[in-house]
Amino acid sequence: MLGFLFPGQGTVRVGMGAWLRRRPVARARLDEVDALLAQPITPLCARGPLERLVATEHAQVAVTACNLAALAVLLEEGFEPLVVAGHSVGELSALHAAGVLTFADTVRLVELRSRLMAEVGDTGGMHAVMGLPVEEVEALAAEAGSVDEPLVVGLENAPGHVVVSGALSALDRLGKLATRASKIVPLRVGNAFHSPLMAAAVPAWAEAVRAAPMSEPLVPVVPNVTGEPTTDLATLRDALVAQLTGRVRWTDTVNAVEEFAPGVEVGDSKVLAGLSRRAGARCLSLAEPATLRRLSREIAA
């Protein structure tokens, strides 16, 4: 048994999904996603341009399409999850894998989430701060930010890999303060996700999440905002709403998954596998051609 980990928006790239289109079951899932959308997403995944693909309203749908297609491959091969989690928007793919959301409702919610977040407008940005513990980054963000120009830790991706999210001016100040950081990398994203600057999108998102049909999870889900496994549906709904402005506690999440089973990154990305290794957790990526064979050998052993 495995822990299924689903990547998020930051993993999009032109050409994503190429290996999935070679698998009939995955290609069928990609076609299903396209059929549910006003405009198909798979041509943009395959050919770009990158500027359109990385836009919030496209990126979240694109990564979800690949996640759902990769999930279909794993299930066809006979692999079932013992626990699931998803990074940011990947949490919706995880909820589908756990039986909470139908395929169609997953796509519908992701499309709505991406649109609501894009409509907030250009209010901020995100920087990855490398080489510092999260506690130090929290203190620096508090010093650089203010009530009118908030700056928070948006993602705890791995030890020494923290993402701050907030007002652009506060990000500039943090860059001058974080002299001990080994590197600070501006992220190519449309806004300050997982920060108070996303508050304008919360009311409509909360209404949609409350109204969405959901079933009790078949396996534990580890929500981003808690980093703790749960099978309580009310907790999962609340966490899905809180995630829009709340912190992605990914280090806690992968450690919680590790308590159940080794992880596999379900999508067309190697990002989560790398972050898991930095956190000392086991994780393979389906984007590696040999992973399915390796998983079969390990499960057999």
Say which CATH number the domain at 47 has.
Answer: 3.40.366.10
CA separation for the pair 155, 104 (Å, rounded)? 28
List the beta bridge partners of residue 6. 86
Give the strand order in the sheet containing 283-285: 81-86, 2-6, 263-265, 283-285
CA separation for the pair 243, 258 (Å, rounded)? 22
Q: Given CA atoms 203, 204, 208, 211 in this order, what sign does their dihedral have?
A: positive
**In this structure, are 245 and 294 located in the same domain?**
yes
**In this structure, are 82 and 57 located in the same domain?**
yes
Domain end call among 166, 189, 212: 189
Give the strand order in the sheet containing 161-166: 183-186, 125-130, 161-166, 151-158, 248-249
State how many domains the chain has: 2
CA separation for the pair 6, 11 (Å, rounded)? 11
pLDDT digits (tens, 9 = 90+) for 80-128: 999 999 999 999 999 999 999 999 999 999 999 999 999 997 789 999 9
pLDDT digits (tens, 9 = 90+) for 142-176: 999 999 999 999 999 999 999 999 999 999 999 99
CB atoms within 10 A of CB 186: 12
> Does pTM surpass 0.75?
yes
**In this structure, are 114 and 129 located in the same domain?**
no
Quote the tokens at residue 64.
């979800």
Confirm if 72 and 17 have CB atoms less than 8 A apart: no
**In this structure, are 181 and 111 located in the same domain?**
no
**In this structure, are 284 and 160 located in the same domain?**
no
Q: Given CA atoms 190, 193, 195, 197 in this order, what sign does their dihedral have?
A: positive
**In this structure, are 34 and 100 located in the same domain?**
yes
**In this structure, are 268 and 145 located in the same domain?**
no
**In this structure, are 176 and 214 located in the same domain?**
no
Amino acid in the structure at residue 58: H
**In this structure, are 134 and 10 located in the same domain?**
no
**In this structure, are 28 and 53 located in the same domain?**
yes
Quote the tokens at residue 22.
């070679």
pLDDT digits (tens, 9 = 90+) for 33-59: 999 999 999 999 999 999 999 999 999
**In this structure, are 16 and 109 located in the same domain?**
yes
List the beta bridge partners of residue 84. 4, 221
Domain end call among 148, 167, 189: 189
Range(s) of the domain holding residue 96: 2-120+197-300
Q: Which residue numbers are catalytic?
A: 88, 194
